[in-house]
Amino acid sequence: MMSMNYAFGFSLFLLVLVALNIYFFYTLNTVGARSPKFNVPSMKLDLTSSVFKDIYDYLNYLPSNYKIKNPKFLPIQNNLLASFNSSHNINNQDVWSETENWSSEESLFPHTNGAPGRILQAIQTSQIALVDNAPKGTQLKLLLLLEGKQKIYFKPKRYDLDHVIIGNIYGGFDRHNSEVFAYYLAMVLNFRWIPPSVIRRIHIHKDIMPVATAGLKRTMVKNESGSLCIYGKCFYCKVNETVCPDSKGEIEGAAILYLDRQFKIHKSPWKRSYSTKKMEWETDNDFCKKVKGALSTKRLLNLIDVAIFDFLIQNGDRHRYEVYKDQIVLLDNGKGLGNAMVDELDILAPLYQCCILSTSTWQKLEMLSGGSLTETIKKLGALRNDKLATEEHFKAVERRLLKVFATVQYCIGKHGRSKVFQNGLF
């Protein structure tokens, strides 16, 4: 009787042990894929589900070197910080002629001898000679003409940094901080085809009204507290969706250097549908083959770099892209940093569908592991006293970087390193 009891108790114990084991392995495998934090949208599980699952498996077993800092980055970080930490007494006019006369196959703007810092300082401090509506596009933005004739796009602040955009990945107004964050991110990634962008505060009565065009004044209204607010002129601009000055009378925004260049505009092959209709890339597993047939490898690698960049900030709105000197120019980065809890993995579709990556991008990414990426962005922002995002967003960018690493591991697993990494020499 006694031994029967023991046997029963022991088998019960074994049963519990097995159940615990199964549960343990189940959670191990699904923690990435199923956790609501990672937001794998259920409607997309048809075609991408197995790809996403594979990528999350790689994420769960990511080698530890992707989670620690790479000491090789330190001197690069110091150089970058130095180039942004420039001088107090600059002549803005010299800066504008330096930028305007810049001609290079490597970058849109000078990047050596403290030029990036000087440019940002000039954007922030130059006197404003004229303010007008910038009616291009769907979002409210202003065109500032600085003394010295330099043009600036000014995308005003619409949300506090901790505001969470719920809904579509391309939903909400542009985020001004996303523009500036994107610029620094590009600098850290060594993507040099992006206009310099910095936070600037402009005073409604001191900086705007004395130099506002009649057209701009016509798109202003007084709010209940008597402040002058702007509703602007753009596709989505509405009289009741104004931008108002803060208690100091200032409007904060992203001041983005305007490039008076001839861009070629292209539709992105991975453009999102703005309706419930599915796009080809969402339903065709061999979609990349088609793109490869239509675009050069150089352009494709460029689009994949842009996809990684957009995934890190969660900009899901790159419906078209501008090209200058055969390089994609990263214009319009305002739709990032909407929700720090969401990682929309399909922004990486160009990467996981084509499974190629330029070697230089990969070397750069590998150097930025373990927190270096966002640490550098924070430090660059701090040089101008700007906090560009909440801690949640900085954490989210690091988490997404791990997912980029996992996606590349997935590609290597599927095709081998020699197929994935391309040196960009064609």
Contacting residues toward ligand ATP, per CB under 6 A? 136-139, 153, 174, 195, 256-259, 263, 322, 331-332, 334
Cα gap 165→187, rounded to integer Å? 26
Query: 424 — phi, psi (to 5°)?
Result: 75, 10
Q: Which does 204 bind (CB under 5 to 8 A by kind): ligand ATP, Mn ion, none?
A: none
Task: Find the shortest distance in angstroms from Cβ 207 to ligand ATP.
Answer: 20
- Is 317 one of the annotated active-site residues of the chain? yes
Which candidate in 207, 305, 310, 317 is catalytic? 317
Q: Which does 370 bind (CB under 5 to 8 A by kind): ligand ATP, Mn ion, none?
A: none
179 contributes a contact to Mn ion by CB under 5 A: no
332 contributes a contact to Mn ion by CB under 5 A: yes
Is 332 annotated to bind ligand? yes
In the bound state with ligand ATP, the residue whose beta carbon lies nearer, of 333 and 372, is 333
Q: Which does 343 bind (CB under 5 to 8 A by kind): Mn ion, ligand ATP, none?
A: none
Task: Find the shortest distance in angstroms from Cβ 323 to ligand ATP.
Answer: 11
Q: Which residues have a Cβ under 8 Å from the Cβ of 271 and sit 6 or more positions away?
A: 279, 318, 319, 320
In the bound state with Mn ion, the residue whose beta carbon lies nearer, of 179 and 386, is 179
Task: Find the shortest distance in angstroms from Cβ 239 to Mn ion.
Answer: 21
Cα gap 358→78, rounded to integer Å? 24
Is 258 annotated to bind ligand? yes
Cα gap 145→64, rounded to integer Å? 50
Distance in Å from the first CA to the final CA of the chain: 81
Residue 384 to residues 121, 123, 177, 251, Cα–Cα distance (Å): 9, 12, 13, 17
Q: Which does 259 bind (CB under 5 to 8 A by kind): Mn ion, ligand ATP, none?
A: ligand ATP
Is 257 annotated to bind ligand? yes
Catalytic residue annotation:
317
> Could you list the residues that contact Mn ion (CB under 5 A)?
332
Indicate the annotated binding residues. Answer: 139, 155, 174, 256-259, 322, 332
Indicate the annotated binding residues for ATP. Answer: 139, 155, 256-259, 322, 332
